[in-house]
Amino acid sequence: MADWGLVARSLMHSDAAGHWWRTLSMQDYNTRVVAAGVALLGAACGAVGAFMVLRRKALFGDAISHATLPGIGLAFILATAMGLPGKHLPILLAGAACTALVGMGVILLLRHRTRLPEDAALGIVLSVFFGAGVALLGVIQQMQGASAAGLESFIYGKTASMLAEDGRRIAICAAMLAAVCAMLFKEFRALCFDPAFARAQGWPVRALDAAMMGMVVAATVIGLQAVGLMLVVALLIVPPAAARFWTDDLRAMVLTSAALGAGSGVVGALWSAMEPNWPAGGVIVLVAAAAFIVSMLFGRARGVLHRFAAHLRLERRVDRQHVLRAMYEAGEQGREAAARSAADLARSGVVPPRRLARALAGLKREGALARLPDDRWILTPAGRALAARVVRNHRLWELYLIRYAAIAPTHVDRDADMIEHVLGHDMVAELERIMDSAGAQALHLESPHRIAPAGEGR
């Protein structure tokens, strides 16, 4: 036991560093238990929470976790009265699960039997059950011959008190939750996306709904000891919300969420083991929050930076198309040789002046534009073909919007290149026929709407 610690200590000549080293390398049996338990807890909560977040029922977990407190108090009183050890954890957790299930039943009753808004129902269950729990703990304090000290630790959690058997219990529960998630994945996907359709197909939607809520109850109860009833809801909400930024696929989101939950759990538990003044529950939540912020910024599917970059790319592509269009139409109208200076283009307002230089440079790089010795720009043969296609597509879109679409232009796919995909070849052929017979000239002069300024895309 002491050998590695001694080695580390002699290497680092410092007690504090030795403690850190021992914790990080998980040499203490207890540290390993705590880390493994909290990791599995985070994974289970992350997976179950993903479905709840997608159903917009994230706060259901909060109501459920608060509904565990009276169960803890009642279990303690009953066990003490029966002469059992009152603070035996499995007894307390069984009590917690009982009142959590009662709370779930009350929420379902309020939802289906009254016209009460869902958030009000959740708020009622949360506060009333928690209030009952606080009152019970007060009563227990005054009970004769019962040492109730420590029951409050379920409110904020006490990770350090976890034993090997606690870790095992969490592992078994988490494995069961993971198995149910995997088995009912397809059913849960249908339930979360379109419950009415699932019902119409004949799935027992209420039973599936109850199963999902029951999983939240299980995840919450096993999380009580580690992170406490106040904070366990964070593990149900924050990792799924973070995972959503990385992927547009449900399976990947559930797995990412589980991984983020597990990672937050391990990092938070180890941190708190190194710095005993930092309670694990709070640190775990802070680590999860850090993961959330990183995901929100850098997430590949819908992170802020990713969206900004996509927006910028779109803006630049639209700019380049506008320049091509302006050059091409200048040629069509027979303005001398279709060469235009940058100043001329800027005056015509096709692209905001500060973005013009970049658009011109980009087109030159693509080989669509060439610069004449007198600093004017001209379409290359390749650029001319490209411009012809862009102009054709834009005009077909405009014609389509005038002739056929009795709907807002925003309902149409804005990517002009995709016109055949969206409208179908028959429609495009028809539009081309109309455009040819009407003459191109008349069409682009009487454009009914300005092409949306760059950057108004979704």
Partner 1 sequence: MTWPWSIHTPPAGPEHAASAAVSIHDMTVAYHRKPVLWDVDLDIPEGRLVAVIGPNGAGKSTLIKAVLGLVKAVSGDVRIFGEPLERRRAWIGYVPQRESVDWDFPVSALDVVAMGLYREIGWFRRVRAPHRARSLDALTRVGMESFADRQISQLSGGQQQRVFLARALVQDARLYFMDEPLAGVDAATEQVIIRLLRELRDAGRTVVVVHHDLQTVQEYFDHVIMLNTRVVAAGPTAEVFHRDNLHKTYGGRLTLLEQAAQAVADTAGR
Give the residues lining the site for partner 1 (CB under 8 A).
54, 56, 115, 183-187, 189-190, 192-194, 196-203, 244, 247-250, 252-253, 404-407, 411-413, 421-424, 427
**Residue 123 vs 409, nearer CB to partner 1:** 409
DSSP string computed for 323-391: HHHHHHHHHHTT-GGG-B-HHHHHHHTSS-HHHHHHHHHHHHHTTSEEE-TTS-EEE-HHHHHHHHHHH
Residue among 364, 345, 367, 348 nearest 356 (CA): 345
**Residue 353 vs 424, nearer CB to partner 1:** 424
**Residue 16 vs 406, nearer CB to partner 1:** 406
Helical spans, DSSP H, in 158-249: 164-183, 185-193, 195-201, 205-244
Q: How many C-beta atoms surround the C-beta of residue 9 within 10 A? A: 17
**Residue 186 vs 354, nearer CB to partner 1:** 186
**Residue 4 vs 404, nearer CB to partner 1:** 404
Tokens (6 digits) for 164? 């090997």
The Cα 49–Cα 26 span in angstroms is: 28
**Residue 149 vs 405, nearer CB to partner 1:** 405
**Residue 195 vs 352, nearer CB to partner 1:** 195
The Cα 363–Cα 243 span in angstroms is: 38
17 secondary structure, DSSP code: H
* Smallest separation, CB 253 to partner 1 (Å): 5
* Smallest separation, CB 244 to partner 1 (Å): 7
* Smallest separation, CB 179 to partner 1 (Å): 11
* Smallest separation, CB 336 to partner 1 (Å): 41
State the virtual CA torsion across 137, 282, 28, 147 in degrees, nearest 10.
-10
Q: Find out whether 191 and 209 touch, Cβ atoms under 8 Å.
A: yes
* Phi, psi for residue 378 in degrees, rounded to 5: -145, 150
**Residue 255 vs 290, nearer CB to partner 1:** 255
Q: Find out whether 225 and 151 touch, Cβ atoms under 8 Å.
A: no
* Smallest separation, CB 400 to partner 1 (Å): 8
Helix or strand run (H / E) with residue 38: helix 29-54
The Cα 49–Cα 413 span in angstroms is: 34
**Residue 56 vs 335, nearer CB to partner 1:** 56
* Smallest separation, CB 301 to partner 1 (Å): 8
The Cα 223–Cα 314 span in angstroms is: 45
* Smallest separation, CB 195 to partner 1 (Å): 9
* Smallest separation, CB 218 to partner 1 (Å): 19
Tokens (6 digits) for 115? 């016209």
* Smallest separation, CB 203 to partner 1 (Å): 7
